[in-house]
Amino acid sequence: MKIDREAVRKRVEALKSFPTLPGVFEKMSRLMSDANTTAGEIADVIATDQALSAKVLRLVNSAFYGFPGRISTITHAVIILGSDALKGVIISSSVFDVMLARGLYDLWKHSLGCAVVSGIIARKKDYPDPEEVSVAGLLHDIGKVILKIELPDEFLLINDIASREQISIGAAEEDFLGFDHSDAGSWLSQKWNLPRSLSDPITYHHRPGLARTAQTPTAIVHLADVLIRAIGFGSGGDDMVPQIDKGAWESLDISRSALEEIICESDEKLEDTEIISVDGDSGT
């Protein structure tokens, strides 16, 4: 029997399991809507939450943003990353908390790896906002976290089905629920009013041809997701390595030599990447 899709959507829209989003996130979003707001004013709002400030700086200075150890203040982070990417960093810190609290270490590692590779591809293609693409890579599977929170029993059954029948998690979700984690991620993106540069990759990373606004970031995250699965860094919940979407591949126009460089750089950076825990310690 299929799950009531609209009922789950309403539960996602009412979700309060990401504790840092209310308050600071909403204040920051209001400030960012004013063109006269300064980086210092945004930083002052974030600084009111000391734990959040520490997590933001730790995330920004980790390997997948490309600024290891170089950003020392929230104001600097605001200036370097820009408003949309900074929103994503704040969301990422909350997602990280929830993933570890829910025992989703392998999914977090997979998501972190996708962020690393997304950033590398974006820089290779001279995309103007590679940090934001990294954030999109980190958040691409946020829908799986939502399903774990809202449908924990079904989440376990879906994983069992995917393993037993040797199909992808997405296929098992569609068969069992009638929707998949991309749909759940899309609902959350709408609830949080994320920019299309983040919401499109979350919604369409398995179907990049459907993205109409942020085609390039979506294609990059799609390719990064396939590559990180092939590399085997973390786990998206199954052992499947999907085919690269032909349209996304052609739109990125990556040569064989450039792809080899991306894979080589990814291997090197992933070796240096640490899983950042909520208390500042590194996971293993």
Q: What is the pLDDT of residue 222?
A: 97
pLDDT of residue 270: 83
Rounded alpha-carbon distances, angstroms, from residue 83 to 70, 74, 90, 258: 19, 12, 11, 30
pLDDT of residue 280: 42
What pLDDT is attached to residue 279?
Answer: 40
Element counts in the chain: helices (H) and strands (E) = 16, 0
Q: Which residue has the tokens 């792809």?
A: 259
Tokens of 188: 């959350």
Distance from C-alpha of 73 to C-alpha of 282, rounded to nearest angstrom: 21
Residue 247: the pLDDT is 96
The structure's pTM equals: 0.81
Per-position pLDDT tens, the chain of length 284: 567 777 777 777 676 555 455 467 778 777 877 888 888 888 888 888 777 788 778 777 766 566 766 788 888 888 877 776 777 777 777 777 778 778 888 998 899 899 889 999 999 999 988 888 988 998 899 999 888 888 888 899 999 999 999 999 999 999 888 889 999 999 888 877 788 999 999 999 999 999 989 999 999 999 999 999 999 898 988 888 999 999 999 999 999 999 999 999 988 888 766 544 334 443 33
pLDDT of amino acid 63: 62
Query: In this predicted structure, what is the pLDDT of residue 58?
Result: 77
Q: For residue 150, give the amino acid letter.
A: E
DSSP-assigned beta bridge partners for residue 276: 282
Count of beta carbons in the 10 Å neighbourhood of residue 27: 15
pLDDT for res 284: 34
Instruction: Go through 191-215 and write b for each residue having 16 or more CB atoms within 10 A of its CB, e for each that does not.
Output: ebebbbbbbbbbbbbbebeebeebb
CA distances from 123 to 79, 106, 120, 265 (A): 19, 26, 5, 11
- Per-residue pLDDT, 123: 92
